[in-house]
Amino acid sequence: MSDTNWPPCADCGDPDARTSLSGTQLCDRCLNDRVSAHTGWSRLPDPPPVEVVRAADGREVRFRYRLTWAPSGVMSAEAEEVDQAAGDGFRFVVHAEHGAEPDAVLAQLRRIVQHEVGQAYLEPREFDAAVFGTRWAIAGDEVAGRIDWSGDPSLQVPSVVVDGRRLDWDEFGRMVASREGWEFRMRFADSSDSVATATAGEDEEPDGGEVGEVIPLFGDRSSEGDDVTTAPSIDDALEGFLAAQRERLAASTYARYEDIIDLLRHCLNGYGYQSLTGAEEQAWQAAFDAGDEEAFTRLCHPQRIMENYGEFLGYFMVRKVAASKQQLKDAGTVTKRLARWLAEQGYVDAGDAELARDRAADAGRELPRADELGHQLFLQTEHTRLPAHPNDIADEDWIEDHLPITRVEDGRLWFGDIGPVEVPTAASDVAEVGWHVTVVLARLDGAWRLVQVGAVYP
């Protein structure tokens, strides 16, 4: 909980009474009891105990969960980082319809917590502190968070909270100063998930049909007419695959499979639409505009999974997921087995599945090594000492680019036509010609040095 001093509950004396009902301060349990007694609604169960979630930067974040009735009949589930001042830390909310199952709502909230806390939008950079006046920098080309109270009643502007860290607008402005000249897009969204997303279980579709209905966009046509026969969706196939693995795997191994499939589903819904054309694109766009952010996996045939293996293994797991080496290795293993299973079920062409299996096998070998290369190159950047005023470095001695590795020698790499660049031997041992790296290089005293390093793409 936050360090705000709440009054005690009028019914039970609990010191954490956050809600005022008709002028009476109540804790969550007593609030739910009163609402249930007055309305006849079912009594909500107690939320899970405080849970520790490991963040992408290694922090252990403690979450307190809340589950309450609103007078309107809406069920509200909230996860809030404990031991934080009001407005600080992580906070996530899911709202659901009156008839939703509390366990399903809480399960959805916990998935959101684990997913969002498991990715980092910011990273510490001492170089940025020296040049821009803030030690935090945007890790990639995307940043997300929330707008919250500044913590100072005298201020008229709110704060920005990213990765659970509160930033004032001046600091956030200095943070994006390095992106001068870039374009950006800002989108505001309610902090809660949609009702359909919040209440639907992983192996069932939400009620209604307009959002969750599976439209067979990719499948065989009936020989009796133009109607499309029932065809499986990506969600159907992924759930079937997980069900098959659950029967044969130990619980700990199955949990890793489930993690990778969740990431794959997220990637498909975020990027798969780019390959759609014609009627498929129109149907997806209509569903997405109606609020179905998972329209791609609900509407499209499993063949689309194969078409997006490159996006998932070559970009998403590298750039968008703060993945551990184990996750990177698992991504190759799971997608390789998935491709074979999809072919066995007749969902995809055997030839396409074989190509996808080869891509997955390569990824299983290369992704952990690429992650190690990125780590070793980052360690090398810490040995680079820039002049007191980096802006004084000549333009021809400063390179910021996404470059291929063109040559590898013991303790030395070439990026494009730039090199040699001194690196740890542990880096040159795992590097391969043809891999791409986002780098900032400076020529100091006649030698090229690593200043910053981003993602490594095998």
Domain boundaries, the chain: 19-117, 122-179, 202-374, 384-457
In terms of Cα–Cα distance, which of 293, 292, 312 is closest to 304? 312
Where the chain has pLDDT below 70, the residues are: 1-5, 71-72, 86-87, 125-135, 149-156, 178-181, 187-231, 321-323, 388, 390
3-state helix, strand, coil in the chain (%, to 5): 40, 20, 40
User: What one-letter code names the amino acid at 55?
Assistant: A
Instruction: Give the three-state DSSP class for 230.
Output: coil
Tens digit of pLDDT for each residue in 53-111? 888 777 888 888 998 887 667 788 888 888 777 667 888 888 777 778 888 888 888 88
**Residue 315 DSSP class:** I
Tens digit of pLDDT for each residue in 229-278? 346 889 999 999 999 888 888 888 888 899 999 999 999 998 888 888 88
Tens digit of pLDDT for each residue in 98-127? 778 888 888 888 888 888 888 788 877 655
Q: Fold for 384-457, please state it.
A: OB fold (Dihydrolipoamide Acetyltransferase, E2P) (2.40.50)
Q: CB of 423 within 8 A of CB of 410?
A: no
Instruction: Give the three-state DSSP class for 243.
Output: helix
Give the count of beta carbons closer than 10 Å to the beta carbon of residue 105. Answer: 23
In terms of Cα–Cα distance, which of 272, 259, 283, 394 is closest to 334? 259
Burial class (CB in 10 A: 0-12, 13-18, 19+), 340: middle
User: Taking the model in full, what pTM does it have?
Assistant: 0.43
Rounded to the nearest 10 degrees, the angle between the axes of helix 251-271 and helix 325-344 is: 80
Distances in whole angstroms, Cα of residue 405 to Cα of each of 310, 433, 438, 457: 20, 5, 10, 10
